[in-house]
Chain A
């Protein structure tokens, strides 16, 4: 971490602190105040968007651990989210589990399903793994659609609102607090995981797995751990998504979504804690912008083809993913770092 001139660490606790200077603390508290007073000035619609952003941040943080830190590509993340969502839905609506138990269980279920599909990662990597996870996506969605007795099949399944004790999270504002708290916990977990022994082992595997193995990193253990943690977070996100949206069908978890999650990690910046947050906010706000602007454009230019509204979104996202990979492969997090150092070094910015 780059710190301003004259910041010295006199003990280990200070050295390891995430928030090191007064400015850090001030900005952090400012952020907390802004986030947690958001329901006061955001309308219901934008709170819904914020909730979706929070849920997606959890999922993409998991994918970032798997892909950004450990280097194991997964294009089936929407499938693992679906596993979490359906576990939560079945446990809470059919078996009467409380919300929190359902949350933890869906995390573990998604984690174990991820472990199964992650086993080939011990022997293969790159493209092979990408294909395995695509296969996982299709198989999971097929099972969800055809195991109608349990999952509701093509009809779907309705999910009760989340509640802890007597507290019920029925409207967007209360769900906003729930989701933000869990998101914050997940981000903190990911941050500390990445700084610790496990994260360093992941990074060693990403950079060169053979070298890592020779240095004494247990590949089997750590690759499967990465799959477990990544899919665990996907399961948590899925559970929150199920309780937030209230009604599940397999339409919510398509291959296109999986690709979009990969895109979010890439756009945000692989292997950074900040990356997933920025990437998710960027893509979700872009989605909102496109949703807002495409009817306007359609009215303004009647000559546009009929598929404009549905087609322009994927086109823009695909283009953004390609452009980021070509022009800024280190993502928005790197840009943010550049901005911070420019601010710190001002007026001598070199």
Chain B
């Protein structure tokens, strides 16, 4: 029983981080309907950047972590400005493929600057594990869940009350009408990309506090696609609900199926969920079914 509780708690915590990364995807998708397949690589490169700041340049936390956020903002702006904006109004195939090209490029940059393929971040959170009932959970998980939840709260407040947040929701609703209201659509696009990169960076730092920095972070980013798919592409609520579900399935499945099926089953459970969702309810739990006209 203690192990069950442990799987549940770690699963929920990891799931919250997945949900956070997925939120970044949903943001870009909602405002500009670009599917950002470079999510995994964004997570990877910003984790490595944090490593570079905190360990290689040995900056203190109060300087290193804000620099990571700045870097993510800059990265988002660059990607939107030079890869996505020239392709406005192109077919969706090009939009997806261009993010693949960006992904490939970022992976190259990572192995260019940080050729060692494994590293560990310094311990940002306290070391002592927490006892919740019979389960023993290390503090990273708790902090990851708390920080993700707090960011969710902040972002939803932003969307509700801030001018830019309202503009982003409006752009998601109807681009033409928004342009007619003199809202600069291009700056909405680049803001959404910057936000997406920031949440990917924070998610990446949280995940690599738990599991270290490896190329597996790309898979972490890809796993959050299963959150997006399960929750429904254009739904923030879907992300929050589906994230913990995916985390739970992954950890419980990994815990109980590994003796039955073999090691590594944990890593493909999210992908199996994607396939199952695709067969049963392709638009996810909260996504709206697209109605098309010819």
Task: List chain A positions with a Cβ less than 8 A from chain B.
Answer: 67, 71, 73, 75, 117, 119-120, 123-124, 126-128, 130-132, 134-136, 138-139, 142, 145-146, 208, 210-211, 214, 255-256, 259-260, 262-263, 266, 270, 305-308, 310-322, 325-326, 329
Contact = CB atoms under 8 A, between A and B. Distances in A.
26 contacts: A75-B37, A127-B92, A130-B96, A131-B274, A136-B275, A138-B222, A142-B264, A142-B267, A146-B262, A146-B263, A211-B294, A256-B104, A263-B100, A311-B110, A312-B108, A313-B108, A314-B107, A314-B108, A317-B101, A317-B104, A318-B103, A325-B94, A325-B101, A326-B98, A329-B90, A329-B94
Contacts of B278: 120, 124, 128, 131-132
B87 interface: yes
Category for how many chain B residues contact A:
35 or more
A307 B282 contact: no
A202 B137 CA distance: 54
B108 A120 contact: no
Majority SS of interface residues in chain B?
helix
B152 interface: no
Interface string B3-40: 00000000000000000000000000100000101000
Majority SS of interface residues in chain A?
helix
A259 B92 contact: no
Interface in B208-256: 218-219, 222, 225-226, 228-229, 233
B259 interface: no
B112 A134 contact: no
A117 to B, nearest CB: 7
Given A307-B112, A307-B113, A139 B271 contact: yes
B109 A73 contact: no
B271 A311 contact: no
Nearest to A212: B294
Specify which of A128, A136, A145, A210 lies most central, judged by the most chain B CB atoms within 10 Å of its CB. Answer: A128
A132 B106 CA distance: 23
B133 interface: no
A343 to B, nearest CB: 29
Given A132-B274, A132-B278, A142-B267, A311 B100 contact: no
A324 B279 CA distance: 34
B207 interface: no
Contacts of B82: 322
Top 5 nearest A-B pairs (CB, nearest first) are A311-B112, A318-B105, A314-B108, A307-B115, A321-B101
A255 B222 CA distance: 11
Contact of A263 (B101, B112, B279): B101
Contact of A210 (B107, B112, B292): B292
B274 A307 contact: no
A322 B264 contact: no
A127 B107 contact: no
Given A127-B35, A139-B275, A306-B115, A322 B107 contact: no
Contacts of B104: 256, 259-260, 263, 314, 317-318, 321
Contacts of B101: 263, 317-322, 325
A210 B82 CA distance: 33
B277 to A, nearest CB: 9
A230 to B, nearest CB: 15
B114 interface: yes
B109 A315 contact: yes
B58 interface: no
Contact of B268 (A130, A139, A314, A325): A139
B31 to A, nearest CB: 15
B86 A326 contact: yes
B112 A262 contact: no
Contacts of B222: 134, 138
A129 to B, nearest CB: 9
Specify which of A146, A305, A307 lies most central, judged by the most chain B CB atoms within 10 Å of its CB. Answer: A307
Contacts of B75: none
A311 B113 contact: yes
Interface in B157-198: none
Contacts of B113: 305, 307, 311
A314 B271 CA distance: 25
Given A139-B272, A214-B294, A321-B98, A145 B112 contact: no
B100 A262 contact: yes
Contacts of A131: 225, 228-229, 274, 278
B153 to A, nearest CB: 28
A286 B103 CA distance: 19
Nearest to B271: A135
B102 interface: yes
A128 B271 contact: no
Interface string B37-61: 1000000000000000000000000
Contacts of B218: 255
Contacts of A326: 83, 86-87, 98
A325 B100 CA distance: 11
B111 interface: yes
A314 B105 contact: yes
B114 A307 contact: yes
A322 B274 contact: no
Contacts of B261: 146
Interface in B255-294: 261-265, 267-268, 271-272, 274-275, 278-279, 282-283, 292-294
Given A210-B294, A263-B100, A266-B94, 20 more contacts: A124-B283, A127-B233, A130-B35, A142-B267, A145-B264, A146-B262, A263-B104, A305-B112, A307-B112, A307-B114, A311-B112, A317-B101, A317-B108, A318-B101, A321-B100, A321-B104, A322-B101, A325-B90, A325-B98, A326-B87
